[in-house]
């Protein structure tokens, strides 16, 4: 069967402690990224440095009412046993969440693009988006070509990440000309393919979207 969703409730609980690998412990904090404007209610998740403005991204088939919704990131701070605290903490984005309703998710399903069928997935397989520049984002489908200032190695998206230190985010970026927004964040350990999940309430309403960057979550 397809890969199951992880325990996102724990992943977005500040203070959750886990073992990432032998000898390495992580502690979760939750970073508020502000509100994302979804004027059409059709969400895209992608690597913005590679895909933004290319016209290649399709929105998920699950849509929500147009509006402004909170985005937050589960940030893991990692420490190795026996080593003194680093001057600069080792942090990774474990997951990013777009909150539609402040209700717990009672169930999870993969966020799908048109033509994707979860019945076609094999054991522990999943659908996800590819990352080649170490970052992911959420944005509305209407904003795909709204950031011409991000062409090349310049513009507000690059400025947000501060290339000298590669700030992991999350970062809210606004297009000066249109007011469209995107919220971007470093993608866990870097490049790869990462799934986005739809969390639904007990009544079946969309509670949230979560992109999982696979930073470990084994109980410490």
The rounded percent of the chain whose pLDDT value lies above 70 is: 92
Domain residue limits, the chain: 8-219
CA distance 113 to 59: 7
pLDDT at residue number 3 = 92
Of 110-119, 128-137, 157-166, minimum mean pLDDT range? 157-166
Peptide bond into 180 cis (omega under 30): no
pLDDT band at 219 (very low <50, low <70, confident <90, very high): very low
Residue range 15-74, pLDDT digits in tens: 999 987 777 889 999 999 999 999 999 999 999 988 887 777 899 999 999 999 999 999
With a cut of 60, say whether residue 218 has pLDDT above it.
no
Question: Two tokens at 64?
Answer: 């929500």
Strand locations in the chain, DSSP E?
17-21, 24-38, 43-46, 67-80, 90-99, 107-110, 129-131, 135-140, 171-174, 181-186, 192-194, 196-200, 206-212, 218-219
Pairing of strands 129-131, 90-99: unpaired
Whether pLDDT at 206 is above 50: yes
């Amino acid at each position: 069967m397809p890969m199951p969703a992880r325990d996102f409730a724990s992943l977005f609980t500040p203070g959750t402690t886990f073992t990432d690998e032998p000898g390495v412990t992580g502690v979760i904090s939750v970073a508020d990224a502000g509100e994302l404007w979804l004027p059409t209610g059709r969400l895209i998740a992608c690597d913005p440095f590679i895909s933004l403005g290319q016209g290649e991204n399709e929105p998920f088939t699950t849509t929500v009412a147009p509006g402004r919704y909170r985005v937050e990131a589960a940030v893991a701070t990692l420490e190795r046993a026996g080593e003194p605290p680093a001057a600069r903490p080792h942090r990774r984005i474990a997951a990013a969440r777009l909150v539609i309703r402040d209700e717990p998710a009672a169930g999870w399903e993969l966020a799908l693009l048109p033509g994707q069928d979860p019945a076609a997935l094999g054991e522990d397989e999943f659908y996800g988006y590819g990352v080649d520049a170490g970052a992911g984002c959420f944005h509305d489908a209407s904003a795909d070509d709204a950031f011409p200032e991000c062409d090349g190695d310049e513009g507000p998206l690059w400025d947000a990440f501060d290339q000298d230190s590669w700030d992991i985010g999350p970062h809210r970026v606004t297009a000066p000309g249109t007011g469209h927004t995107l919220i971007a964040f470093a993608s866990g350990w870097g490049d790869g393919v990462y799934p986005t999940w739809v969390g639904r309430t007990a009544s079946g309403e969309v509670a949230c979207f979560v992109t999982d960057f696979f930073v470990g979550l084994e109980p410490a």
